Amino acid sequence: MKKVFVTFVALLVVFVLTVTASESKPPVTTNSAPNDYNCSQVMNNLFVSCVDYLIGGDAVPSGVCCQSVNAVKASTQTQIQRVAACMCYYNVATKLPFLLEDRAGSLSTSCAVDLGFIMSANTDCANVPVSSRQGRE
């Protein structure tokens, strides 16, 4: 039964990501620099690979999940990309009410990866620091 539920949740995550990606939104820009962040690819990998942990099924994130968190880190080398990743996370997470906020907020710490922002529906993405080492709570 757990596998059926997790499969259903994973499919729901993919659906929400597809709908979110298809919504027309202006690109995230700072100082008129273009946003080259691939939200759908990175967040799809993150949510699908971490769904067991994010919904409370697994006590710790899997190795594959932490690899996805590292992929988010690798894709966010600039402040613009970190703001974009934060906004992508927010846009998806707020549409998935079954995600456990405490799990999402501790995911990067549990994987020993400093993303430069906290994955939370309460994070103000406009205040993502210039350096990934600044402004951590």
CATH of the domain at 88: 1.10.110
For residue 31, is pLDDT > 80?
no
Torsional class of 4: left (φ above 0), alpha (ψ -120 to 50), beta (otherwise) = alpha
Q: Has residue 76 been placed in a domain? A: yes
Q: Has residue 24 been placed in a domain? A: no
Q: Has residue 31 been placed in a domain? A: no
What is the tally of structural domains in the chain? 1
Task: Quickly state the pLDDT bin for 137 (edges 50, 70, 90).
Answer: very low
Instruction: Give pLDDT, residue 42.
Output: 78
Give the range of the structural domain holding residue 43, as residue numbers without chain letter.
39-111
Q: How far apart are CA 50 and CA 42, in angstroms?
A: 12
What are 69-123's pLDDT values in tens digits?
999 999 888 899 999 999 999 888 888 889 999 999 999 999 999 988 888 888 8
Q: Has residue 15 been placed in a domain? A: no
Q: Has residue 57 been placed in a domain? A: yes
Q: What average pLDDT score do residues 31-40 get?
A: 59
Q: Has residue 1 been placed in a domain? A: no
Q: Has residue 7 been placed in a domain? A: no
Q: Has residue 132 been placed in a domain? A: no
